Structure 1
Amino acid sequence: MRERSIGVASAMGAYLIWGFLPLYFLLLVPTGPWEIVAWRILLAFVFCVLLLTITRAWPAFGRIVRQPRLLLLTAIAGVVIYVNWQVYILATLTGHVIETSLGYFINPIVTVLLGVLVLRERLRLTQWIAIGISLVAVLVIVLGYGAFPWVSLTLAFSFGIYGLIKKQVGPAVDAVGGLTLESFWLLPVAIVQLIIVGVTTGITMGTVSPVHTVLLSLAGIITAVPLLLFAAGARRVPLTAIGLLQFIAPVLQFIIGAWVLGEPMPLERWIGFGLVWVALIILSVDSVLFSRRGRGVSDVASLT
């Protein structure tokens, strides 16, 4: 029970941080999205290197580096998470926080869909129903709101693919080692972005105010800590519980976008979000019931 409590607290902490990220990034204005992502990559790499040193985890990291397959997968994961970070911050700083929340609401359904397309998993009827309702929701938003939700779908699919890659590497790559390599592969991208920002709009790090400099310097910690908390929670809490806790982040983002920042929520958006929420309820109930049946079968097996 103690391990489970630690796991729940860790996972909840991760999702709470992710949920409040829009407010953090808005505090970094006038720093632009390209500079923010560049510092996020560079400082996350520095933070992970420090963690590897403090925890004396370099030997384990060395075992990862000696495996070409893991190097390739972490490079792909780095590219995918870069797309996720860049689109997320671009959307946040241009008044589209509600669209980012929709992306993370859709993400669990995309994860299920990727399981079918990539891993050849077979879905239960209720899961197909949830996917169908989600497709209708996207159609409603496109036709009713008059705009394709590219931000939401990019976030949902990029994070879904990132999770799929993490599943492929499994326990062979720990959270710190994985993030170290992912940010390492992205260092050239970050450096190029800082050079371009420097010769165009100008670097803002250290030029706005001491408070702004401190906040921007925390970008690496803000990136790494929730990933580490999530990894700690995932090891101690059943996947079903993680699946339910993951809705904390998009709910907070939706509240921030709709009621704190006052982004528009016309009827078409409410209908689209409503359909997505119905699909998520169906998916969550199905997941809980299937998990209970699985435990029941294992309990019977242990008695025989």
Structure 2
Amino acid sequence: MKQGVLYGIIAYLAWGLLPVYWKLFQSVGAWEILAHRIVWSLVFVLIIIIITKRWTKLWAAAPGLKMKGALLVCSLLISANWLLYIWAVNSNQVMETSLGYYMNPLISVLLGVVFLKEKLRMGQWVALGMAALGVLYITVQYGQMPWIALSLALSFAFYGLAKKVVNLEAMIGLVWETVFVAPIALIYMIVIEANGTGTALNLEGWKLAMLMLAGVGTAMPLYWFAQATKRLPLSTLGFIQYLSPTIQLLSAIFLFGEKFTMTHLVSFSLIWGALVVFTISSMRKKAVSVPMNSEVVIKKQA
């Protein structure tokens, strides 16, 4: 349990601090950063596969066209999420990325209802309604939909849904997800360098090294997250996951100087409230189910 909590905290701390990391490369375009992230992620995870001698497991993980198609969908969704996130951070929209990742768990639940026919308690429906009000309020006040937040939340929620169908180990899944897009990313890097429009190679040496470490920064939080999910109940991991958008929000305000207005306060408060209501409702559901299950076990033993 303690190890699981530690793995979870480290994973979400790493994801929460990503805006600080991407800010190092503001002179580099989002597409170029994404290309480097994909290529170096593939290099890093392939090194791990080689060291751990898991080639057989890697090939066996995607036996047919149906599985490869599902992995391709995962690849496109996470690539789109990465691109938008990097662009938003380097366009001084960190606060809206935070809003998106606060919304993500609730949208994931809604997708579960729509696609997996999962059933919700009344409290959980109330939570979804509160989150919708939060989005509606900020939309009305600013006169435009928070499309960055919604796009991040939707792309990651659909990615989670696709991952649920695929159900692969984190490192194995990341290899396949990067394999599909790495050739495109590598060609893009070569073309922009040949045209003289590439900027990454003009970075200072230490920054270029940091950009190459994007593969480590992508794979290791996934590994830590996978270790946390093995050791912790989802309710505990659910609490820890809010660490990441909270760090992003605090970074936006205190590090990057983004304004936190009354509109933000009302919208965020509705979504925070929705998360609290949803968590309490989910925990009550589990608390009710435990005695019932225990009673069945006792009767069977009798």
| Matched residue, 1:111 | 108
| Matched residue, 1:73 | 70
The share of aligned pairs that are identical, in percent, is 34
In the TM superposition, residue 295 of structure 1 has moved relative to its aligned partner by: 2.8
In the TM superposition, residue 19 of structure 1 has moved relative to its aligned partner by: 0.2
1:240–1:291 CA contact under 8 A, matched in 2: no
Distance in 2 (alpha carbons) for counterparts of 1:47 and 1:237: 27
The Cα RMSD (Å) is 1.5
My pick for the range that moved more, 293-302 or 241-250, is 293-302
1:101–1:251 CA contact under 8 A, matched in 2: yes
Distance in 2 (alpha carbons) for counterparts of 1:194 and 1:294: 54
Q: 72, 81, 84: which is aligned to 2:81? A: 84
Distance in 2 (alpha carbons) for counterparts of 1:299 and 1:245: 28
| Matched residue, 1:61 | 58
Q: 167, 182, 185: which is aligned to 2:164? A: 167
Structure 1 residues 120 and 219 mapped into 2: Cα distance closer, same or farther (>3 Å)?
A: same
Segments of structure 1 that go 5 or more residues without pairing to the other structure are: none
Q: 250, 256, 279: which is aligned to 1:284? A: 279
Aligned length in residues: 299
Could you give the per-residue CA deviations for residues 176-201 of structure 1, whole angstroms, max 9, x where no partner exists? 11000000111133134324543666
- The code of the aligned residue for 2:206 comes to V
Distance in 1 (alpha carbons) for counterparts of 2:67 and 2:290: 33
| Matched residue, 1:123 | 120
1:300 aligns with 2:295: yes
In the TM superposition, residue 103 of structure 1 has moved relative to its aligned partner by: 0.3
Could you give the per-residue CA deviations for residues 225-282 of structure 1, whole angstroms, max 9, x where no partner exists? 1111111111111111111111000000000011211112221111111111110110
My pick for the range that moved more, 247-256 or 113-122, is 113-122
2:7–2:228 CA contact under 8 A, matched in 1: yes
Structure 1 residues 290 and 209 mapped into 2: Cα distance closer, same or farther (>3 Å)?
A: same
SS in 2 for 1:265: coil
Q: Which runs of at least 4 in structure 1 moved beyond 6 Å after TM superposition?
A: none
Structure 1 residues 282 and 202 mapped into 2: Cα distance closer, same or farther (>3 Å)?
A: same
1:137–1:272 CA contact under 8 A, matched in 2: yes
Could you give the per-residue CA deviations for residues 11-31 of structure 1, whole angstroms, max 9, x where no partner exists? 211100000000000012322
- The code of the aligned residue for 1:46 comes to V
Segments of structure 2 that go 5 or more residues without pairing to the other structure are: none
Could you give the per-residue CA deviations for residues 283-303 of structure 1, whole angstroms, max 9, x where no partner exists? 111122222223333333332
| Matched residue, 1:27 | 24
TM-score with structure 2 setting the length: 0.95
My pick for the range that moved more, 59-68 or 187-196, is 187-196
2:124–2:282 CA contact under 8 A, matched in 1: no
Q: Aligned ranges for residues 9-24 of structure 1 at < 5 Å?
A: 9-24=6-21
Could you give the per-residue CA deviations for residues 103-157 of structure 1, whole angstroms, max 9, x where no partner exists? 0000011011101111122211111111111111111001112221000000101
- The code of the aligned residue for 2:164 comes to K
